[in-house]
Amino acid sequence: MQDSNKGAAPQPLDGKGLRIGMVQARFNEEITDALAAACLGELESLGVAPADIVHVTVPGALEVPVALQALATRGGFHALVALGCIIRGETYHFELVANESGTGVSRVALDARLPIANAVLTTENHAQAVARQDEKGRDAARVAVEMAQLLARLK
């Protein structure tokens, strides 16, 4: 089987008619609110109707995969977005939360066969998170739309 997309320019991103679910962790809320605002703004600029975006919040990054799974099971979504922020502390807890959150997000995507844009930031400090919050939020929106379009073409 040949890859018919090889060497081709990427398709223009068009979110019209897409239904997107977003799960936002509230821990480090200043950062995750900025991630969510950037993501929502970009989704709308790509043509996703505000009424077609379901945005839920959970306490922290470890709860994100459970909420993603609930949305995936509910059905009707073309893509999901995971938003969160894990900042390294002085204990091993950072590694635990970062690894388990990332693994959970990937597992839900594969089990549900649904694209999930993972914008759970993992940074060394608050300044790094602030520096990444807007671009990663916008990037998550673009990834969700692009992957929804790709999976639609592959069906």
Which are the catalytic amino acids?
93
Spatial separation of the C-alpha atoms in residues 146 and 75, rounded to whole Å: 19
Task: State the Cα angle at 28 between 22 and 34, rounded to 5°.
Answer: 55
Q: Which residues touch 107 (CB under 8 Å, ≥6 apart)?
A: 65
Cβ burial of 33 (10 Å; 0-12, 13-18, 19+) is middle
Spatial separation of the C-alpha atoms in residues 85 and 105, rounded to whole Å: 14
